[in-house]
Amino acid sequence: MSIAFNSIDKVVRDISMADTVLSVADGAMTDIRNDLVKIRSLAVQAASKDLSSSERMLLEIEKDGLLEDIARIADNTEINGLVLLDGTLVGKKFQAGFAEQNYVYISIQQSMSVKGLDIRDICLDGGDRFAAYVISKVDVAIDVVNEARANIIGLRHEVESAKSGLEKLVFNACVEQCFGQGDFESLVGMLRYEDITD
């Protein structure tokens, strides 16, 4: 199979960019999920009838800080101007091979913002009844983030597979070109490079 070597660069850049987008989105979603788990833990503490109003206020302040962190992550997670977690990333196309149908499409349609996760109105200083409400809202938000992460992880496997296929295709094309020209020194050098990089 013959490939135009000048097109290899675009495919390699696209696959690398797709991998980076997915990696950054996954990391940011993991951070958001961790903040949600902390908020849930605070809500469990707030459910205690033994807390004073000042203790509840401290839990509320900590919860507000975690919500601010979630908002910051959702608003600022981007790569090269491509905003990843505001719910607008739909069908971003990355070339993953040399055939027309070799594309990876990345979509993150669920906003990871406080509003998008429907957790902006949660309150911990209202007693045990409100704490139960917060726990249920946060559980739903955690499920939403987990589902989005599962989709990202699936796409990461798809990108890894495309990268592996591309490496084999490029290697085979290089072998074909070297043998076609009788350039055995280039082939031996390339094989040594493969050994070093593995």
Q: In the 3-class helix/strand/coil scheme, how is 61-74 assigned residue by residue? A: HHHHHHHHHHHHHH
CB count in 10 Å sphere of residue 91? 9
Residues contacting residue 141 through CB under 8 Å, at least 6 positions apart: 36, 117, 118, 119
Distance, in Å, from the CA atom of 26 to the CA atom of 154, rounded to the nearest integer, reads 11
Q: What percent of the chain has pLDDT over 70?
A: 84
Contact 124, 60 (CB under 8 A): yes
Segment 43-93, tens digit of pLDDT: 999 888 888 888 988 999 999 999 999 999 999 999 999 999 999 999 999
Residue 128: predicted pLDDT: 73
Mean residue pLDDT across the chain: 85
pTM, full prediction: 0.82
Structural tokens at position 46:
């707030």
> What digits encode the pLDDT tens for the residues 140-165?
999 999 999 999 999 999 898 888 87
Q: Which domains does the chain have, with CATH numbers?
A: 5-158 (1.20.1330.10)
**Longest Cα–Cα distance in the chain:** 83
Query: Is the pLDDT assigned to residue 1 strictly greater than 80?
Result: no
Q: pLDDT band at residue 124, thresholds of 50, 70 and 90?
A: confident
